[in-house]
Amino acid sequence: MGGRTRSSRRGLHLASRWWIWALVACHTQGDPDPSVERAESVYVACMMEHGFEVASVDLTPGQESVELAPHDRSLDEVLDATAECERRVGPILSGDPLTLTGDDLQADIERVAERSADGGVIGLLVRGGAETTAVAGTANAAGDALRVDSLVNVASVTKTYTAAMVYLLEDQGLLDTGRALSTHIADSAYGAVTLDQLLGHRAGVPDYAANPDYLADVLADPDRVFTTDELIAYAESLEPTETGAYAYSNTGYLLLGKVIEAVTESTLAQAFETLIVEPLGLTRTSLVQPPEFPAELVSAWLVPANLGLPPETPLPVMPVSAPLSGCQADCGVLTTASELRVFFEALFGGSMVSAEALARMTSGGPDHGRGLEIYEGPEGRPLYGHGGGGAGYAARVAFDPTTSDLTVFLANGDAFDVDALFGAYAR
């Protein structure tokens, strides 16, 4: 049925936490509704899954309108696709994006994973020493099933590993976290800040990822291999934040990675093997080394809305080099759910860093420590872990040192609300 297809639908529902920069112009009154924008992004992605390109979309309640680009599909195909995509965005528009049981892990994983045909979700729970796992979704564009033991990138959970390496070196007497960065890196623009300030995101070092030029350069050449120094340079062109005040900084952990290299006189990957992988007997944990990627690393899918882009923006399927290069100390760990368990149980079990080091890692602020984030758990107990995301892969980890319970959720697509799973099971 060539030509454009226009539809106007009433009674759609919507919801989300993400925003889309270019769709602001579609809404002429007031600030854009982030739930509407998220629904529009999900709708466009869904229609693309069905082979349709969306020329324009407005899902503002009361003025819903969708226009498809020229196609030669039948009316029945159009109606089937729009019905499925409306089903997906309905809960988002309603303000009730997910209804999770909190006690049926497989069912809840499937509920979250159904949001997209690309990618999926892995869950691992340890309760009273017993492990429960669940998985749903796909591992790659061929549609192979995601597995509980699939290899993924854990994004900013990497920071916990980096902090552990710093404290291991301090335990060995090879560095002092109270000393200035210039002790180990003579030519840094941030030489006056201490390692402790970097560990706690209180060094005033701006985040390279906040520089719009960085995202522009990543999108312009997804296969580019950045160096760590190039990423730090993006930060150096930004205004510093207040020293002593908490301000999350990926850059700070890149600087810590350079300290590890200086102290160990090795590459960060070699230090990671020596300090983390070998002592724990890990066989499927490593630091990513673009442009090479392990064949078993699952694919991952970006959502344009997360990057502030129009929903129809074409984005590469991960892994590609640009978003995963140069950032090994803040985003580079590749691992599995089970080996995440090994690492966190060792960290809190006394077989990795000293008790003094762990005490410092778990202190610093009401919701953050040094290399660890702090969450409120059952009965108000503190949970320690980290979250990560931003390059198609997402991870949420929380450990309860009182009970040794562990919660792990991993995803290989930005369309999946792992925060909802985390909230249902970790807290």
**Domain membership flag for residue 379:** yes
> What single DSSP character describes residue 41?
H
**Domain membership flag for residue 208:** no
> Of 78, 93, 108, at which residue does a domain stop?
93
* Full residue range of the structural domain in which residue 379 is found: 152-178+266-426
- Residue 333 corresponds to which tokens in the numbers above? 């760990």
Residue indicated by tokens 């931003």: 390
Determine the pLDDT at residue 221.
96
**Domain membership flag for residue 35:** yes
CA dist 325 and 268 (Å) reads 13
Note whether 53 and 131 are within 8 A (CB): no
> Of 44, 64, 93, at which residue does a domain stop?
93
- Which amino acid, 18? W
Determine the pLDDT at residue 9.
27
**Domain membership flag for residue 219:** no
Residue indicated by tokens 């969450």: 375
Same domain, 333 and 404: yes
Give how many domains the chain has, as a whole number: 2
Give the CA distances from residue 198 to residues 64, 192, 312, in Å, rounded to whole numbers and listed in that order.
48, 11, 38
3-state secondary structure 392-407: CCEEEEEEECCCCEEE
Note whether 398 and 417 are within 8 A (CB): no
CA dist 160 and 164 (Å) reads 6
Give the CA distances from residue 422 to residues 98, 124, 341, 406, 426, in Å, rounded to whole numbers and listed in that order.
12, 11, 16, 11, 5
pLDDT tens-digit profile, the chain (427 residues): 333 333 332 222 212 212 222 222 222 234 556 678 767 877 886 786 677 888 889 888 878 889 998 988 788 778 878 877 887 777 677 665 568 889 999 999 999 999 888 999 999 999 999 999 999 999 999 999 999 999 999 999 999 999 999 999 999 999 999 999 999 999 999 999 999 999 999 999 999 999 999 999 999 999 999 999 999 999 999 999 999 999 999 999 999 999 999 999 999 999 999 999 999 999 999 999 999 999 999 999 998 877 777 877 889 999 999 999 999 999 999 999 999 999 999 999 999 999 999 999 999 888 899 999 999 898 889 999 999 997 899 999 999 999 999 999 999 999 898 988 999 999 7
- Residue 250 corresponds to which tokens in the numbers above? 């990926």
> Of 63, 78, 93, at which residue does a domain stop?
93
Determine the pLDDT at residue 364.
87
**Domain membership flag for residue 205:** no
**Domain membership flag for residue 230:** no
Question: Quick one: how far is CA 77 from the chain centroid?
Answer: 35
CA dist 23 and 36 (Å) reads 10
- Which amino acid, 269? A
**Domain membership flag for residue 25:** yes
CA dist 215 and 275 (Å) reads 32
Determine the pLDDT at residue 7.
35
Note whether 378 and 427 are within 8 A (CB): yes
Give the CA distances from residue 296 to residues 147, 192, 314, 407, in Å, rounded to whole numbers and listed in that order.
11, 42, 25, 24
**Domain membership flag for residue 183:** no
CA dist 382 and 188 (Å) reads 36
Determine the pLDDT at residue 237.
94
Note whether 367 and 374 are within 8 A (CB): yes
Residue indicated by tokens 């160096």: 227
Omega before 294 cis (within 30°)? no
